[in-house]
Structure 1
Amino acid sequence: MKDFKGKMLCLDRADINTDEIIPAKYLTEISKTALKPHLLEDLVLDGFNAETDLKDVRVIVTRSNFGCGSSREHAPWALEVNGINVVIATSFARIFRQNMFNCGMMAIELSEDKIQALFEVGAGKTAQLSADVENQTLTATDAGGNELKIEFPISQFDKTLVETGGWVEFADKNY
């Protein structure tokens, strides 16, 4: 199972699409590692700089419809190769969401008020977040040590995919 804790980055925008997650010009790359330096390089968002803001990030919190656009696995792969195994939003594009779970990663959907609470914790860009898959809880901690605990929903099948490391590992184990 992957690691689901670390530095949290809040991207305050809806509809971040797969071309912004990993630009289409890199889809010819033959390894996940080749995608690593290009994560979010085309994302236009006030105050965001992909070269500096992604350092040591392990969790992204954003608004609605994350991963919209084309249905490519490269977008979750670019996150994964950068150590980002958790994305939290109010909603995801359906195929992107399933690709995350197929890779053993987590796409957690929360209500707008819970997302806003996470944005408040992550305002200083030094917040940490831990996702406990078994107990379906998130713990976000700000720079002052204040904690916010949130429960999250996950289907039993998606939970199993996460716990086994993704679809390939699940299929190897069960078929």
Structure 2
Amino acid sequence: MLLIVFWQLPGYLSAAFAVEIFGRKMTLFVYLMGSFGAAMAFGYVEGTEANLLITGSLMSWFMLGAWGSLYAYTPENYPTNIRAMGCAYPGGVSRVGAIAGSYIVPIMLGAGWGIKTIMWVAGGGPLIFIAIVLLVFGYETRGKDLEACPRVEAIVKQKAGLDEIVVETPGFD
């Protein structure tokens, strides 16, 4: 177990270097997809010590790499005057999800759902969904003046090909 946990630090450090080389968006996408692949492999491999050690180590590497990439990417998507709130809100929502998962997974097991199905619904599905949303709608912030970056509604409008503003910005300016 300690060997699996050890691989979190190199995963985190590799992401710290990768965000400056490949960009925040692409690094986060790669680590999310790596997290998906490692988590699915961990769930599907035969339960030998070697298999669990290798796939668990990969999962530690990619999950903490995704976490590190997220810490570099998230704050840069908000203007300075609301950056703290913009970073705190997703953190709070993630805690709600973590608490809810503790109750939902046993309910799913009790309803006859298989472990692999739960793994896809609770782990793999969200990782793939988030990675695709990031790839399609994400904005690369590396090397850009954050105050000059387009607002979220402008990015959504551009990606959707719309002329009118999709999301109204509350009066934070």
TM-score scaled by length of structure 2: 0.27
In terms of fraction of residues, the more strand-rich structure is 1
Answer with 1 or 2: which has the greater Rg.
2
- Larger relative contact order, structure 1 or 2 (CA cutoff 8 Å, min sep 6): 2
In terms of fraction of residues, the more helix-rich structure is 2
